[in-house]
Chain A
């Protein structure tokens, strides 16, 4: 039995969220009551914070705000629910349930997130509970999909190495389960679970987190080199599977990556994780747990903008951190093993796994699954799920792998793919195939500019320049976020856009194609015309003068468009080299 966790004191007034957590009785708050209030589709401010820990954000359709105000209606409050799917895995049964729920309670579409999770938008307050219960029937939950806890654990989806992938995927599930909050609040509020009577005063309900949980969100991802599709340097904890002789030996660990920042505040910045060593599989869970507890105890609980783990590490130094970790673990991490990353993007189409089963990676623009005019994507996937016996894997690039198709089933699946015109995206430019956009407007409350709804049309215009330069098949990462919080990991896009205001973006260049270097600001607060004008210079230049195999992100540094960002702490250094 763990005693109540008492955190070391910090100087200053704790952030508002800390008080909300403290008062919440382990994430209960007044959610039960406020979800029932029939006069508003919203819930109170404190409950809005708490419901994130349950995997949901209260949002409203921002496109309708003005109109509704004129009509004397409150904003169209609705809930986004993000489902916890470690490694992006879903059975056909689960896929069909999500599909049905999206059409019954949601806005009729599914979003595959950049963290390999299902996300449903547009769920009305009165339907949230029913949704949670339906999801529970197919063994899915949304616990800790958002909030100041460890979020959905990501995992590489290259399924060709079937045995290793399965093993590593299972570790992502174990890490996720291990770091789940233990409070019964989720069961009580959504699943009509029995209320746990009289929480004992001395016993700790949350042996890892304590009643204040973490100071800020926390993210973990696992990669299997040479693919860095999970962008492990962007994670609070990056886990790199070390495979030798087709055996999983263990994992290299990185700590302190993170994307978010605040416009105009140079004290905030994106950072890449630092490699700290190697652990065996048996050491993985305890290692992640102890890392989490260090952030719990030392993360900044006064200033939320500086509360992410990356700032804790940068403040105390990596050597201090390693020492603290060794102290808590009781053993030292081994030296990191050799590994090599090539890329972050997905490879599309049919591939055969080593066990003889087939996998089809489907290109899904912006991760949005719906029936488009002339492209019945959602229907097609539903029909596939009705016959598919393997699993689905949502990729970190918002695409979908229809996985583990037996050779005998392949023909059937292919006929459905053909029938519904589902696409591996091969006819698209390599730029589009390597694009990521966050949701942004109209539902995200943080959005300052469009992302998912706009990036496709911007790419169409960039494609003209690429085609003229003969670069249609040149892979370049392009990422767009509507705000600086970084859901699309735009700070490690070879071309990155971060929203500043309607139609205006900060434009970043120079990240590494394999995710190992951040980009650098190139132009501030620019509109589409300026973006295209700049690319009309840089892309033909790249086409003409690139070296053999040189990626766009490397070229723009060599050609002095931007300086290389060598560490998050110099991300904001203005470009000193002028062309």
Chain B
């Protein structure tokens, strides 16, 4: 990459400096710099690209590829889009599809198929991958002898069915006759490096098809790309403006409303997005672990060429709360503890029960990076441009005599204070988006699942949207747990919210949940679907989303007086039309 006076706005002196600097930067440094420059020049100035890229040579033969992603939180989509951009830079003809949008008839004609997919819950395909997954595994799946493919899996090793969807796709494509371009790679929560390596391999394999060989163009920055300085790799330190426990005394829950400042960060987001937060491990928990292992808190360790104390490393860098299978294998624990035992237990339990002995550096090398935790954003950027709000439920439970709290929620609940600065990034979530302003929406959420709907309604309030909106909310008790109650009352009064149905499960002898309210309102619910409503579901998958889906199917079946199969087909159509959207965890 060479800058010249004629192809850039710089003076000769500047170009000399830049040409000295730029080629020596790593990819990460470049991304950061680009973002930094874009952010610092944002106010009122022309959105000039930070770096202008030299033209690349035309390849000899045109290569085509399709990238399909199955994404729940947006990571797979983001990677797919990023890879596509880079392939285009190398004159590969690329098409990117969410799996739900991919016209399956085209599959036979695809030369190179790249799949990037996450795995949901217990080995299930993400929502927008389900139909394609079923198609590929069904009787209508075509023979794919001419297909070259590769699969990138995103997952979390704390689940035993780690990257199962990616494995399934890989296996099935192979069965159908496809040939792997490069082997599948399964990434853990900290996916960047593995994903990048997989892509480099894929890109090389593709370019070899054209004869260009290894001359891969450098990573580039497109002038149209919107960049902020901050990212998952370079989080923004947001100041905590407000922290309120929304539940009253007497509740079984602790739900924190946290407001963070984005002032001056240049960060923006869209309703439906999440933020990632890098937490820290509980001080006492770190202490206990060190004691259990008889490691001195001040022992120095090296992580990625950086030297720090083991205490710092365990507090800010390493995950100590989850017993993943790979971790147990690395530690050589034998016999491998059962899943049921591992569930909810942490490294301290393991050390104590299995008499694990490690020195500080081995410990640091063995543990995986402390992953960020994602929370659905509970506010609208347009309504509060300098802030981002989240709704965090404190996870807490007891096993035998010991009390446990979730890493991030426990930290927010007990240690986070107003005025603190915490590292965050925006996680886009394009599959969970409001429809047009005049279209009706049905929002179904339980507990903290209410969060994105607060963002939706704030947004619709801000834009004066005319579409009807119906909110279902479930919690345990009316008196103590009605999250954001007065706000909903106000939106109802002002008409931004058309209708609200609530289910408080423990206010009466029999348990009443949101799905019961859906069934009670079956007729109206179906009418809303018929007039084009988009359904949004947010919250716990196992506890809520499944039951809600069953209720919706029942409503469709009853109201149409049809079969279960037909009702499923109806819901399938809604999914295809992006009118059945879930943000479940």
Contact = CB atoms under 8 A, between A and B. Distances in A.
Given A72-B257, A73-B485, A74-B489, A124 B245 contact: no
A72 B478 contact: no
Interface string A50-86: 0000000000000010011111111010000000000
B248 A72 contact: no
A6 interface: no
Contact of B478 (A41, A64, A69, A70): A41
A72 B485 contact: yes
Contacts of B484: 72
Contact of A71 (B248, B500, B502): B248
A40 interface: yes
B246 A38 contact: no
Interface string B470-497: 0000000011001111111100100000
A181 to B, nearest CB: 32
A39 B470 CA distance: 13
Nearest to B507: A126
B324 interface: no
Interface in A104-126: 124, 126
A40 B489 contact: yes
Given A41-B479, A124-B478, A74 B485 contact: yes
Interface of chain B, main secondary structure: mixed
Contacts of B489: 39-40, 74
A74 B502 CA distance: 15
Contacts of B244: 70-72
Nearest to A73: B485
Interface string A233-275: 0000000000000000000000000000000000000000000
Given A64-B248, A67-B248, A124-B479, A73 B486 contact: yes
Contacts of B485: 39, 72-74
Given A70-B244, A72-B246, A39 B488 contact: yes
Nearest to A39: B500
B376 interface: no
B247 interface: yes
Nearest to B483: A72
A324 to B, nearest CB: 49
Contact of B246 (A39, A71, A76, A124): A71
Given A39-B492, A41-B478, A72 B486 contact: yes
B216 to A, nearest CB: 53
B486 A74 contact: yes
A456 B406 CA distance: 46
Interface string B454-482: 00000000000000000000000011001
Nearest to B487: A72
Nearest to A71: B246
Nearest to A125: B478
A64 B249 CA distance: 10
B286 to A, nearest CB: 31
Nearest to B517: A38
A157 B507 CA distance: 40
A254 B245 CA distance: 57
Interface string B137-151: 000000000000000
Nearest to B503: A38
A246 B482 CA distance: 62
Interface in A15-41: 38-41
A36 B384 CA distance: 35
Contacts of A71: 244-248
B492 A76 contact: no
Contacts of A64: 248
A106 B360 CA distance: 58
Contacts of B248: 64, 67-68, 71, 73, 76
Contacts of A38: 478, 501-502
A576 B508 CA distance: 62
B552 to A, nearest CB: 21
Nearest to B508: A126
A72 B485 CA distance: 6
A71 B247 CA distance: 7
Nearest to B482: A73
A407 to B, nearest CB: 45
Interface string B233-257: 0000000000011111000000001
Nearest to A126: B507
Nearest to A67: B248
A76 B479 contact: yes
A39 B488 CA distance: 9
Nearest to A68: B248
A461 to B, nearest CB: 31
Contacts of A124: 478-479
A73 B248 CA distance: 9
Contacts of B247: 71
Query: Which of A38, A73, A126 gathers the greatest number of chain B CB atoms within 10 Å?
Result: A73
Contacts of A126: 478, 507-508
Contacts of A72: 244, 246, 257, 483-487
Query: Which of B486, B487, B492, B507 gathers the greatest number of chain A CB atoms within 10 Å?
Result: B486
Interface string B506-517: 011000000000
A240 B247 CA distance: 54
A560 B486 CA distance: 56
B461 to A, nearest CB: 15
A124 B500 CA distance: 20
B487 A39 contact: no
Interface string A107-147: 00000000000000000101000000000000000000000
A310 to B, nearest CB: 40
A166 to B, nearest CB: 42
Nearest to A78: B479
A126 B503 CA distance: 13
A331 to B, nearest CB: 57
A67 B507 CA distance: 22
A71 B487 CA distance: 11
A63 B488 CA distance: 24
Contacts of A70: 244
Contact of A39 (B479, B502, B508): B502
Contacts of B502: 38-39
Contacts of A41: 478-479
Contacts of B479: 41, 76, 124
A76 B483 CA distance: 14
A124 B504 CA distance: 14
Nearest to A69: B486
Nearest to B500: A39
A76 B249 CA distance: 12
Contacts of B492: 39
Interface string B254-267: 00010000000000
Nearest to B246: A71
A72 B247 CA distance: 9
A70 B244 CA distance: 8
A67 B249 CA distance: 10
Interface in B86-110: none
B506 to A, nearest CB: 13
B492 to A, nearest CB: 7
Given A69-B486, A70-B244, A73-B486, 15 more contacts: A38-B478, A39-B485, A39-B488, A39-B492, A39-B502, A64-B248, A67-B248, A72-B244, A72-B246, A72-B487, A73-B248, A74-B486, A74-B489, A126-B478, A126-B507
**Top 10 A-B residue pairs of the complex, sorted by shortest distance between their CB atoms:** A73-B485, A72-B484, A71-B246, A72-B486, A38-B502, A74-B486, A74-B485, A39-B500, A71-B244, A72-B487
25 contacts: A38-B478, A38-B501, A38-B502, A39-B485, A39-B489, A39-B492, A39-B500, A39-B502, A40-B489, A41-B478, A41-B479, A67-B248, A71-B246, A71-B247, A72-B246, A72-B486, A73-B246, A73-B482, A73-B485, A74-B485, A74-B486, A74-B489, A124-B478, A124-B479, A126-B508
Interface of B: 244-248, 257, 478-479, 482-489, 492, 500-502, 507-508
Interface of A: 38-41, 64, 67-74, 76, 124, 126
